[in-house]
Structure 1
Amino acid sequence: MTYNFESDLSEAFGQLLKTETDYNVIIHIGKEPNFKEFHAHSCILRCRSEYFNKTLSAENIEEKDGKYIIKLPNILPRVFNVILNYFYTDKIDIANKTGTELLNFMFASDELMLKKLTNLVENSIIKNQQQFLQNDPIGILQIIYYCKSLVNLQEYFLDKICSDPGILFNSDKFTQLPAPLLEIILKRDDLNLKEIEIWENLIKWGLAQEKSLNQDVSKWNQDDINIFKRILYKFIPLIRFYEISTEDYFNKVKPYEDIFSKELRDDILKFYMIPGYKPKYTPRHPKCYADSIIINQEHLIIFTDWIDKKKDVKYIYNFNLLYRASRDGNTAKAFHAKCDNKGATIVVAKITNSEQIIGGYNPLFWDSSNGNKNIKDSFIFSFTNKSNLQSANVVYSIGNCHVQCYPNRGPIFGNDLGLNFSSGPNIWTYCWYLLNCYPPLDLPNSINVDDYEVFQVIKRY
């Protein structure tokens, strides 16, 4: 019979750390005035950390009075104290740590090559410390960028910034962002800013890099123009000038045209003056981009907020077009062929002779099982004018809500909103009073729809 005395072993090693019996390693942690000396055992360190195993095996390791000397000036003593205890007891508690403490733990564990602990802390930051990430975007960006092994956190935070650029661009410290990091962000295809806003922020950043420049560009001389050109030369090719309106270009871009190359100025002029001219540029296609003829990226951001409204954690989503009635055939068979068993979906329909759109979110999936599926956290919505985001209205499912999954029907949310083809392929019905799966949405009972689209909702983080 085998017995497990793991807890006793953990306690024994913890006691060994406290008594420091027969220790043979001295570790200098931090810098004055935040410095502390720790004592440990090489056999424990070798087993627990790849970093210490390599360091203790090095031929040139420093020794004094028969003890190894290791110096780690970049790690905080209070952080290393917890990690050292983890080495001996295999226990660590990060539940009540602040965001700053978690980052310090993560960077220390990364330097010590503790992959398991690094991943644990990184996941904790992603799940529980979103406000912390927003408090100092410049500082956090710099830290995670230069710590190359933190790939997940880098991608997560860059995704958050591109999805909600105000986190970075509205920061008081935005102009302190290092040029390499700004370049990385402007190269991203999912940066959710209008092109003129990207340009305005770039000008703001550029002017802050050279204090001698007059804020009024009309007062610049050739030396000023040359200075600004050197500051922005890497970024000019990243701006999609062709997505800027002629009015905005004239008022906000043209004053700086002297920093452009002649080729770029000519290309922009041809684009605005010659109908059908195709400029030499690569348009930005956001990752949060939906191949839609009904909605745009701004709607997707709102959908993301609605999906996450009842969750403690905010996620990043991709929206993959599964079905468009006008493209794939406005039949129940076509809908189910494209949309069944695809996971969570958003359905969006355009009302005839108006700018109004309606739709709903199915957090489960569609199928042809000839019955209803109970769901939670579903919603249906309406934009009175799809161009006016303030006209949005959303109502969430209440009680035992369901979606209808019948092979001869389209998407139907409860008994409230959907397409059952009984009145024709373009007539959606709204009958909230029959079952009350959702609160009232102020829609007519019969709705004529031009087209509708279904998007697969894929959670990234």
Structure 2
Amino acid sequence: MQQKLYLPILNKFEDLFDSKKDYDVIIKTGEGNNQKEIYAHSLVLRCQSNYFDTALSANWAEKENGKFIFRKPNVSQHVLEIIIRYLYCAKLDLSTQNGSDILKLLVAADEFGINVLSEYTQELLIKNFKDFLQSDPIGVLELVFQNEAFTTLKVCCLETICQEPEILFGTDKILALSEEILELLLKQDNLVLDEIEIWNSLIKWAHAQQPTVNKDPSKWSKDELALMERTLLKFISLVRFYDISSEEYYEKVMPYENLLPKKLRNEILKFYLVSSKQIKLPSRLSVLINTKHLALFASWIYKKDKILKKNPYKFNLIFRASRDGNTSADFHAKCDDKGATIIVAKIKGSNRIVGGYNPLDWNGYGDKSTPDSFIFTFENYNDIGTGKIGRVIRKSHAVRCFIDYGPLFGSYKSGSNDIMVNGNGKWSSVPNSYPNLNIPRNFEIDDYEVFQVIKEN
């Protein structure tokens, strides 16, 4: 009902802005040939913004022919018109704006001290950040990381790209990425992307920076090699080569091995030939397991006795307790609505790992039925030959989902499930729905991880 009272008044103010009747302020945006003018009324601007009240005061204002002249070359006409219209009639429609324009609006609103508009714009960005980032990833990334005040948005950027790397990686968009932002992304331990894809994208990016270099590395001259070495110097040490299979290394990395320092090449060779070789850079894949475990998990999921020659599944690390938090809320925030998952936990003070496979999901409430789940244990996580699997027996109680608990496998008996993680991160086990794998009754863990399991085409 009240809208009938104030909407006509706001509409009249909007008409005043559009008509430019009796304007006394000329706002000059842009520079040179791109300079544009916006006409406004000083009384409205000074009433709505302390910034404009000061800028248009007698002590600060510049006047020509009786009109205030306000110069703002760092703000586009488009963004400034959105702000001025908002000050006149409180109208704001950002549904048609791309991410970079909304960020520019946020920067300008913050500069003009329009706190309500600034807070609203930032909340909108955070709520729909993935959509805005996808609409203009390069523009959004550059604006966010150039502005020191965007701490929360920087976190959103990194989390979104790490969980949805296809926004950039594997596309031509990454070719326009700055050195600084690319370096920051490659430093992230939770980048959900096969390392070989990171390497392929890095090589593609380097060629885009040096378009005159031959695309065939076997035909590089000494000058071309030196140029590519300088281009990739700060990135080579960030590639987790130990997460690349020997076959992929041979096919995709070896043609470019002259870009790698000789010492690193020898370490990689030793890693492939001597399994006990220690990894210096934390794996993006896992701090608990390696590709051999994943190959075995794939065969168990596929219900095969032998390890498959080609892994038909992709395992994305979506949660690590030491990184993401060790409460039930932390687990569900990262793992709900992600579909099939593998849980892996290392028992404290031992080389033993335990875990389970949930082919469904972790959201919802209560028991979930499936014939395809299993739990497992490795007496020595360094030796996949010590792995034992226990496929579900009571299929109607395969997994349990409760928001106040972490992952739960099997039904409840004698104070625990077959594998139970309570809300405070305490682990326990009582055999019931699965075979007895001699998992300790109560135990502490060093860490645990959750992998999203995706069937590849």
Shared fold by TM > 0.5?
yes
Equivalent residue number for residue 91 of structure 2: 92
Q: Distance in 2 between matches of 1:235 and 1:256?
A: 14
Q: Distance in 1 between matches of 2:288 and 2:126?
A: 25
Q: Distance in 2 between matches of 1:66 and 1:427?
A: 79
Contact kept, 8 Å, 2:362 with 2:401, in 1: the verdict is: no
AA of the residue aligned to 1:419: S
Query: Per-residue CA shift, 1:58-81, capped at 9, x if unaligned?
Result: 967533245431112343445433
Partner of residue 298 from structure 1, selected from 294, 315, 322:
315
Equivalent residue number for residue 69 of structure 1: 69
Do structure 1's residue 36 and structure 2's residue 23 form an aligned pair? no
Contact kept, 8 Å, 2:24 with 2:39, in 1: the verdict is: no
Q: Which runs of 5+ in 2 are unaligned?
A: 298-312, 345-354, 376-399, 421-431, 451-457
**How much does 1:126 deviate?**
3.5
Equivalent residue number for residue 361 of structure 1: 362
Q: Distance in 1 between matches of 2:198 and 2:282?
A: 16
Residues 297-376 of structure 1 aligned to structure 2 (within 5 Å): 298=315, 320-321=325-326, 357=358, 361-362=362-363
Partner of residue 419 from structure 1, selected from 411, 424, 429:
411
Contact kept, 8 Å, 1:358 with 1:380, in 2: the verdict is: no
AA of the residue aligned to 1:448: P
Equivalent residue number for residue 268 of structure 1: 268
Residues 189-338 of structure 1 aligned to structure 2 (within 5 Å): 189-274=189-274, 276-284=276-284, 298=315, 320-321=325-326
Q: 1:149 to 1:9 in 2, by over 3 A?
A: farther
Q: 1:52 to 1:361 in 2, by over 3 A?
A: same
Q: Distance in 2 between matches of 1:268 and 1:152?
A: 38
Q: 1:82 to 1:185 in 2, by over 3 A?
A: same
Q: Distance in 2 between matches of 1:164 and 1:218?
A: 34
Residues 130-141 of structure 1 aligned to structure 2 (within 5 Å): 130-141=130-141
Partner-residue secondary structure (3-state), 1:227: helix
**How much does 1:187 deviate?**
1.5
Partner of residue 435 from structure 2, selected from 442, 445, 448:
448
Q: Distance in 2 between matches of 1:161 and 1:244?
A: 21
AA of the residue aligned to 2:315: E
Contact kept, 8 Å, 1:145 with 1:154, in 2: the verdict is: yes
Residues 164-175 of structure 1 aligned to structure 2 (within 5 Å): 164-175=164-175
Contact kept, 8 Å, 1:49 with 1:113, in 2: the verdict is: yes
Q: Distance in 2 between matches of 1:118 and 1:257?
A: 49
Equivalent residue number for residue 152 of structure 1: 152
Partner-residue secondary structure (3-state), 2:315: helix
Partner-residue secondary structure (3-state), 1:233: helix
Contact kept, 8 Å, 1:62 with 1:70, in 2: the verdict is: yes
AA of the residue aligned to 1:420: Y
Query: Per-residue CA shift, 1:354-391, capped at 9, x if unaligned?
Result: 9854575355xxxxxxxxxxx59x977675699xxxxx
Contact kept, 8 Å, 1:348 with 1:360, in 2: the verdict is: no
AA of the residue aligned to 2:411: L
Q: Distance in 2 between matches of 1:237 and 1:243?
A: 13
Residues 397-412 of structure 1 aligned to structure 2 (within 5 Å): none
Partner-residue secondary structure (3-state), 2:172: coil
Q: 1:58 to 1:268 in 2, by over 3 A?
A: farther
Q: 1:179 to 1:53 in 2, by over 3 A?
A: farther
Q: 1:196 to 1:405 in 2, by over 3 A?
A: closer
Do structure 1's residue 122 and structure 2's residue 130 form an aligned pair? no
Q: Distance in 2 between matches of 1:405 and 1:37?
A: 54
Q: Distance in 2 between matches of 1:252 and 1:278?
A: 23
AA of the residue aligned to 1:421: K
**How much does 1:84 deviate?**
1.9
RMSD: 5.1
Contact kept, 8 Å, 1:427 with 1:449, in 2: the verdict is: no
Equivalent residue number for residue 305 of structure 2: none
Partner-residue secondary structure (3-state), 1:63: strand
AA of the residue aligned to 1:99: N
Aligned residues: 367
Q: Distance in 2 between matches of 1:132 and 1:273?
A: 46
**Under a length normalisation based on structure 1, what TM-score does the superposition of the two structures give?**
0.61
Q: Distance in 1 between matches of 2:211 and 2:251?
A: 23
Q: Distance in 1 between matches of 2:280 and 2:69?
A: 60
Q: Distance in 2 between matches of 1:23 and 1:420?
A: 75
Query: Per-residue CA shift, 1:172-226, capped at 9, x if unaligned?
Result: 2321222222112112222111222211211111122212211111112221110
Query: Per-residue CA shift, 1:306-336, capped at 9, x if unaligned?
Result: xxxxxxxxxxxx86455xxxxxxxxxxxxxx
Q: Distance in 1 between matches of 2:237 and 2:198?
A: 13
**How much does 1:427 deviate?**
10
Q: 1:56 to 1:271 in 2, by over 3 A?
A: farther
Contact kept, 8 Å, 1:358 with 1:382, in 2: the verdict is: no
**How much does 1:13 deviate?**
9.6
Contact kept, 8 Å, 2:14 with 2:85, in 1: the verdict is: no
